[in-house]
Structure 1
Amino acid sequence: MLETVKHVVAVASGKGGVGKSTVTVNLALAMAAQGHRVGLLDADIYGPSQAQMLGIEPGTRPTMVDDKTMRPIEAHGLKMMSMAVLVDIETAMVWRGPMVSGAFQQLLTQTGWGELDYLFIDMPPGTGDIQLTLSQQVPVSGSVIVTTPQDIALLDARKGIEMFRKVNVPVLGVVENMSTHVCSSCGHTEAIFGEGGGARIASQYDTEVLGRLPLAMSIREQVDGGRPTVVADPDSEAARAFMAITARIDEQLGGQQRQDGPSISFGE
C-alpha cells in the first residue's frame, strides 16, 4: 500500500521525553498546510498518542476497504493510523519484540493510504525492533532527529543518528525542541536546557539544524486539546518555526524520485 506514497519521513529520538510526537504531528500539519497530501503513522505501539493529539474521539475505529485493508482516520486534513484506533486506550500492549514489529508492519502496509506526497512516521524512542523493521522493509526518504539541548538528550540523539546511518537512511537534520523559554510575565528568554547542542551535533554528523522550537505551555496545551499549534495558532512563532522546518524538508526531498528501500549494512 506504499506504492502511492512519494516520500516516507521517519521522525525519531534517541530517548523519550523530548517532545518527538508533538513535533511530528505539527510537522505533518505544517506540510499539509503547504498544499501537500500528508499521512501520519503512529509507530509507538506501546504508547500511541497521535489520536489524542489530533482530537480523535476515543472509541473511533477505522472502516475496512476490503478484508485486508483499513481506511485511515482523517483529522485536520491528515490521514492517520495508530494502535490507539484499533484497541481500547486503557489496553496495555504487553508484547515481545516480534509481535510489536508485526503490528507495525500491519499498520504500515494494511492501511489504504492512497496518493500521498509525504507519510510522516512517529517512531518510538530508541533504536530497536521497529527502527530495524522500518529500515529493512520501507523505502525511507529521510529521517528527522528530535532532541533538546540537554547533554543527556544529545547523547541519545547521537545514537539515533548512528542507527539511521548504519541502515543507510539519510538524516535530513536535527530539530532542537524546548530550545528557549520566554517568561510569560517579564519576557525574559532563558535557555533552560542549555544552548548550542543542536548545532554541535549537526556539525559533528555533517547535517543541519532544521529548526529550533520554544519551550511553551501553549504547545503542550494545544496538543493535549486535540488541536496542535499549527492548527490552533497558525500565526504564532512556534507555528512559523514548524512551517520553516517542513519547507526545508520539502526543499531537500521534493525534487527527488522515490528510491528503492535501503539495505542493512553493519560494516566495521
Structure 2
Amino acid sequence: MTETSATTLEEIDAALGTVIDPELRKPITELGMVAGTAFDDGVVTVDILLTIAGCPLRGTITRDVEAAVGGLPGVSAVEVRLGVMTQEQRDRLKEQLKGPGDRLGIPFNDPGSLTRIYAVASGKGGVGKSSVTVNLAVAMAAQGLRVGIVDADVYGFSVPSLMGITQAPTRVDEMILPPVAMDVKVISIGMFITGNQPVAWRGPMLHRALEQFLGDVHFGDLDVLFLDLPPGTGDIAISVAQLLPSSELLVVTTPQTAAADVAERAGTIAAQTGQKVSGVIENMSWLELPGGERMELFGRGGGAALAGRLTDAMGYTVPLLGSVPLEVALREGGDSGQPIVAGASDSAAARELRDIAGALARRPRGLGDLRLKVTPT
C-alpha cells in the first residue's frame, strides 16, 4: 500500500460516504462496512464488509462504490474487495441500529416514536385496497417521506408483486432487513414461502407472524407505516389494534351500496378497539369513456355515504379523502409492479392518489404526547 496525501484519502472517504446501503438506507461509512482503502498508481482499493455472506445486493454495493470513487481526479480503476462482518461487528451494527441491548418489542410503540401508522381496511375483497395502499406509500415516498409497508393480508398477500419485489429479505442474525422498492421498505409473508403456495394458519399463528414483522423487521425511523389488512374484521384486524394501539384506519370502498355497507363494519370496529378512523377512500368511482363521459359502473355516492355513517358512529368527522376512478393504466401498473404514481402519469387516478397521499403526508408527526427530556437548571 502506498501512502498518499491526507487530502486524497479524505476525498475517497467522502466519496464512500455518499454510498447508501440499499437495505439499511444509511451510508456504508456510518455502518462500519468500509474496512479500509488504498490508493496506488491510480488504482483505488476498497475493502467492504457485508453484513452476511451471500448478501443479495452485493452487486449493487459494488457498482455504487465503483461509481462513487471512480470519478475522482487521478483514479483510473477501482477494485472492490468484499468480506463479511464478524459476529462482534454484526452485534455492534445491531446495537447501532436498534439501540443498546438489542431491545425487544415493537419500536413503533416506543414513547418517542413519531411514526404515523395507517391500517388500510375494507369490508370485502376486490375493492382495490392493496392497490390503494401501495400507491399511497409510493406517492408519499416520492414526496421525501420515509415509508414502510407491512403486508398484513397473510392469506391474500399481493404487495410484493404490486411493488415489483422479487428479492427475499436479508437476515442479520434475528434481525430482518426488508427489501426496498421505490424508496418504500416492504415486508410480506409472500417473501418467505416458495412459489404460490397457500398459507393455512389459524389465529395464534397470524398474530405471531404480525408480531414478528413489527418487532424483528428493522424499518428504521419511518414517517409513515402502512399496513395492508385483509378484508373484514377478523384476527388480523384485532391483532393490529392490540399490537399497534396508535394505528389509524383508512377504509377503502367502492361506490356500490353493498360494498359501503360491509365497509362500515370494518370501520366501526375502531369504536371497540379504541382506534381512530382517519378517513374513507372511494375506489373505482367511475370509468372515463373515450368521448369524455363518465360511466359509473358501481353506482355513485357509496364513499360519501360511508363517511357520513362513520362520522355518526364514531362521534367525530370521518372525511371522504378522495374518489379514485377506474383506469386501465392503474391495473396495468399493478400487474407490472410499477404503481401508477411512480411514473409521470397525469391521469385522473394518479392525480387523485397523489392528492390523497399529500393530504395524509401534511399531517405532522405528532409531538403532543411525546415527553421531551428537558429539565430545568
Could you tell me how far 1:259 is from its partner in structure 2? Answer: 5.8
Q: Spell out, residue by residue over 1:123-143, the C-alpha distance to the aligned partner (whole angstroms, 9 max, x if none).
A: 111101111111012143411
Q: Which residue of 1 aligns with 2:350?
A: 239
Q: Are residues 1:230 and 2:335 paired?
A: no
**Distance (Å, rounded) in 1 between the aligned partners of 2:195 and 2:114:** 29
Once the 2 structures are TM-superposed, how far is the Cα of residue 205 of structure 1 from its aligned partner? 2.0
How far is 1:165 from its partner? 2.1
User: 2:85 corresponds to which residue?
Assistant: none
User: Is 1:95 equivalent to 2:201 in the alignment?
Assistant: yes
Structure 2: distance between partners of 1:5 and 1:169:
17
Out of 46-55 and 99-108, give the one that drifted further: 99-108
Provide the alpha-carbon RMSD of the alignment.
1.7
1:36 corresponding residue in structure 2: 145
Q: Does 1:168 align with 2:277?
A: no
Q: What is the percent sequence identity of the aligned residues? A: 41
Distance 2:242 2:366 in 1: 20
1:12 touches 1:125 (CA, 8 Å); kept in 2? yes
Range with greater deviation from structure 2 (113-122 or 235-244): 235-244
**Matched-pair contact (CA < 8 Å) for 1:230–1:239:** yes
> Unaligned stretches of 5+ in structure 1?
261-268
**Letter of the structure 2 residue corresponding to residue 10 of structure 1:** A
Q: Secondary structure at the match of 1:179?
A: strand
Provide the residue aligned with 1:178 in structure 2. Answer: 284
CA distance, structure 1, for counterparts of residue 274 and residue 267 of structure 2: 10
Report the TM-score, using the length of structure 2 for normalisation: 0.65
Distance 1:187 1:47, change over 3 A: same
Distance in 2 of aligned mates of 1:20 and 1:148: 10
Q: How many angstroms apart in 2 are the aligned matches of 1:258 and 1:249?
A: 18
Runs of 4+ in 1 over 4 A off after TM superposition: none
Q: What residue ranges of structure 2 are gaps of 5+ in the alignment?
A: 1-106, 312-317, 371-377
Is contact 1:141-1:259 (8 Å) kept? no
- Aligned-partner SS, 2:284: coil
1:258 shift after superposition = 7.6
- 3-state DSSP of counterpart to 1:178: strand
Q: Is the 8 A contact 1:5 1:114 kept in 2?
A: no
* CA distance in 1: counterparts of 2:180 and 2:188, whole angstroms: 12
Letter in 2 for 1:204: R
What is residue 263 of structure 1 aligned with on the other side? none
Higher RCO (C-alpha under 8 Å, 6+ residues apart): 1
Report SS of the residue matched to 1:55.
Answer: coil
> Aligned residue for 2:320?
209
Q: TM-score scaled to structure 1, two decimals?
A: 0.90
Report the Cα offset of residue 97 of structure 1. 1.6
